[in-house]
Structure 1
């Protein structure tokens, strides 16, 4: 059972703790203020500049990752559209040879997929330039 708190008992380290107890909140703030007043302005500016540099590097990595993901998605979409256009055109040819309807379902789908593929390729070429 935990007994009543003694004055200053919170300064004692707990069992298994390593190192000194943390100073009370008022003392920690005073110690930081003393450190800041002791000519660490350039150190703070250096730390702030380092944080800005890390942020710029992180933003650049994010942009590169997003660009790569966009290229992969565009290639996969192009492959899918090419397959759909090929499959629909082949179906249209087979349907025509059998005398079935070949213009509306298969040929129209093939044309739509071909137009979408051409648009995707045109956008990709325009972005590269």
Structure 2
């Protein structure tokens, strides 16, 4: 194998490209951007995929949360209505109407108001 003298930028025998320190005289101006390796492209694709997956997960969780709040509100509204109707029937028959049915209805109504207020404030903050 032939050795190049020190300071000579000529490629050695069997080399494919220019020497490591060689500067191309035909390329004035800013140096071109280094090529992006396959590993860097794969890493960038994985980061993009993870970001898209996280966005889909957040959207799915938000939709599931809205459905859960709506179902809980419907359930509390039904319990409030049913407890109120039971309290009215118990009062008309002369039975105890305040403690079991009216208290349960009041607790369900308070829970419904709290749930709707929380949902409304959370929706306003998200906008």
1:60 match: 55
CA RMSD, aligned part only? Answer: 1.4
Residue from 71, 84, 91 that aligns with 1:89? 84
| 3-state secondary structure, aligned to 2:37 | helix
Map 1:1-129 onto structure 2 (within 5 A): 42-129=37-124
Distance 2:42 2:51 in 1: 14
- Structure 1 unaligned regions, length at least 5: 1-38
The alpha-carbon deviation at position 46 of structure 1 amounts to 1.3
Cα displacement string for residues 19-59 of structure 1 (whole angstroms, at most 9, x for unaligned residues): xxxxxxxxxxxxxxxxxxxx985222111111000000001
Structure 2 length normalisation: TM-score?
A: 0.69
Cα displacement string for residues 85-122 of structure 1 (whole angstroms, at most 9, x for unaligned residues): 00000110111111100000000000000000001000
- Structure with greater Cα Rg: 2
Q: Aligned pairs, how many?
A: 91
| 3-state secondary structure, aligned to 2:38 | helix
Structure 1 length normalisation: TM-score?
A: 0.67
